[in-house]
Amino acid sequence: MGKRLRDPWSDHRAERTLGAVSLTVGVVVVAMVVFVGIHAWPIFRHNGLSWVGPGGSLETEIANMGSTSVHPPPSAYQLRAWPLVYGTLLSTGIAVGLGLVISVFSSIFIVELAPARLRKVAIPVIRLLASVPSVIYGLIGILVLVPFVGNDLISSSQKASVQNVVELTGAGLAVTVVILTVMITPIMIALICEALVSVPSSWREGAIALGLNPLRAVLAVTVRAARPAIVAAAVLATARALGEAIMISMVSGSRSFAPKPIDGLVFLFEPLRTLASAIVDYHEGVSAPALGSALYAFAFLLLFSAFVLSVAGYLIKLPLRKYQVRG
């Protein structure tokens, strides 16, 4: 058989082999959905879809799950994980919203406004920010930002105002959102810059000829034409923010608490927990069947969201294709 392998391969055989190799990735994706789904199934069976809804105390439910061992009673699978879903939506939503605005304006800066020297610096800077590991963001967050917020920004009267419900320690929504925004902005800037550059400058010049000032011309013409890229950037950034586990586990205060906007400014300092950071926080308990199922259910929800995001991004970009700007 060795000789057969060493003989020049025919195209047919090569195509088959390479095709099989390509299929392995597809097999892995299917396996991922299947295995995570199988482990998550008990939670769905017991709670239906309402496990993402509110009700009861999540921390009590998780403690319950953790303390039941090999053959848990059905009541152990009771789960209402709304605080986690809310925490995920809140942190991701705010971070992506802020990030989009900052990215668009930074991209305009890099592409149109910056002096050449600064522009040459900006590119490696963006690439650097994109490749910093999340544990380093988390380290700076937990050792620098959290004590700063906890000791210098939160006043004791603010603490006292919520002391019967939750403790404010500095680790919470504000630090989480700030660091998350810094993490996802470079991804968006890279994509948006590329798109801004590929818009023909004649379009912008036409707008200027019609009397718009240069910045307005950029905003009205170039940025609008780059909308598919902005959508792609937003989708990519949302996927990144959803899946961020380690950094959030370090700076979010790790309380399964749903921050209340009614609390005013204190809302920013309240601790939270996301689906991904919950998996990291509780991962040592994964061998307890009930708790393990809950963690896999969180993972399944994240997987599902990643799917939905890709499809949504594709669908949103479809009508924008007519501008024929690479997105």
Partner 1 sequence: MSAVAHRAGPDRPMRTGRGRRSSPTTWRWGDRLALAFAWIAGIGLCAIAAGIVLYMGYRGIEYLRPSLIFQRPALSTTQSGSGGFLDPLLGTALLTVIGILLAVPPAVGSALWLAEYGRPTWLARAVESSIEIVAGTPDIVIALFGLSIFQLSLFAPFSFTASGGGVFGKSFIAAGAMMSLIALPPLFTATRDGLQAVPAHMREAAFALGKTRIATIRRVLLPSVRSNIATGVTLGVSRIIGDTAIVVLLLGETLRLDQQGSVPGLNVLRGTGSTLTSYVYGNSPAGEGGAPQKAYAAAFVLMVLVLALNLLVDRIGRSQGDASGLTAAGAVV
Partner 2 sequence: MNRIRRLSVAFAVAGVLGVAAPAAASALTTISISGATASYPLVSLLAQKYVKTHPKKVKFKIAQGGAQVGINDVAAGRVTIGDVSRDPLSSDPAGLVFYPIARYAICVVTNKANALSNLTQGQLTSIFTGKTRSWSASLTGATATGTIDVISRQQGAGVLSSFQTLLLEGKKVPGTFPEKISEGQLKQAVESDPVSIGYLSNYQSEKGGVNVVAVGGVACNKADAISGQYPGVARFYEVTKGRATGAALAFIGWIEKSAAARKIISTQWLPIT
CA–CA separation, 84 and 279 (whole Å): 11
Identify the residue among 78, 92, 176, 249 touching partner 1 (CB under 8 A).
Answer: 249
Identify the residue among 17, 50, 57, 310 touching partner 2 (CB under 8 A).
Answer: 57
CA–CA separation, 104 and 93 (whole Å): 17
- Minimum CB distance to partner 2, residue 59 (Å): 5
**Rule CB under 8 A: which of 303-322 touch partner 1?**
303, 306-307, 309-310
Taking residue 321's Cβ as centre, other Cβ atoms within 10 Å add up to: 10
Residue 155 CA, chain-centre distance (Å), reads 31
Is residue 30 involved in binding partner 2 (CB under 8 A)?
no
Stretch that binds partner 1, among 22-30, 45-53, 260-268, 315-323 (CB under 8 A): 22-30
Identify the residue among 99, 253, 313, 327 touching partner 2 (CB under 8 A).
Answer: 253
Nearer to partner 2, 253 or 327 (CB): 253
CB 228 within 8 A of CB 323: yes
Site string for partner 1, 274-303 (x = CB under 8 A): --x--xx--x--xx-------xx--x--xx
Site string for partner 1, 161-190 (x = CB under 8 A): ---------------------x--xxx-xx
162-168 long-range CB contacts below 8 Å, 24 or more apart?
162/263, 162/266, 162/270, 166/255, 166/257, 166/270, 166/271, 167/271, 168/266, 168/269, 168/270, 168/271
Is residue 87 involved in binding partner 2 (CB under 8 A)?
no
H-state helical runs in 51-133? 58-67, 82-108, 116-131
**Rule CB under 8 A: which of 110-149 touch partner 1?**
110-116, 118-136, 138-140, 142-144
Identify the residue among 131, 156, 202, 324 touching partner 2 (CB under 8 A).
Answer: 156
Q: Which does 160 bind (CB under 5 to 8 A by kind): partner 1, partner 2, none?
A: partner 2
* CB-count exposure of residue 141 (10 Å: 0-12, 13-18, 19+): buried
Residue count of the chain: 327
Stretch that binds partner 2, among 27-35, 65-73, 133-141, 186-194 (CB under 8 A): 65-73
SS3 for 181-241 is HHHHHHHHHHHHHHHHHHCCHHHHHHHHHCCCCHHHHHHHHHHHHCHHHHHHHHHHHHHHH
Residue 171: CB partners within 8 Å, gap ≥ 6? 142, 146, 149, 150, 251, 252, 253, 254, 271
70: DSSP letter = S
Stretch that binds partner 2, among 2-10, 47-55, 149-157, 231-239 (CB under 8 A): 149-157
Identify the residue among 255, 299, 320, 325 touching partner 2 (CB under 8 A).
Answer: 255
Q: Which does 308 bind (CB under 5 to 8 A by kind): partner 1, partner 2, none?
A: none
Is residue 59 involved in binding partner 2 (CB under 8 A)?
yes
CA–CA separation, 81 and 274 (whole Å): 10
Stretch that binds partner 2, among 87-95, 156-164, 184-192, 216-224 (CB under 8 A): 156-164
Residue indicated by tokens 């170039």:
222
**Rule CB under 8 A: which of 195-224 touch partner 2?**
none
Stretch that binds partner 2, among 56-64, 107-115, 184-192, 206-214 (CB under 8 A): 56-64
CB 187 within 8 A of CB 259: no
Q: Which residues bind partner 2 (CB under 8 A)?
A: 57, 59-60, 62-63, 66-70, 147, 150-151, 156, 159-160, 163-167, 169, 253-255, 271, 281, 284-285, 287-288
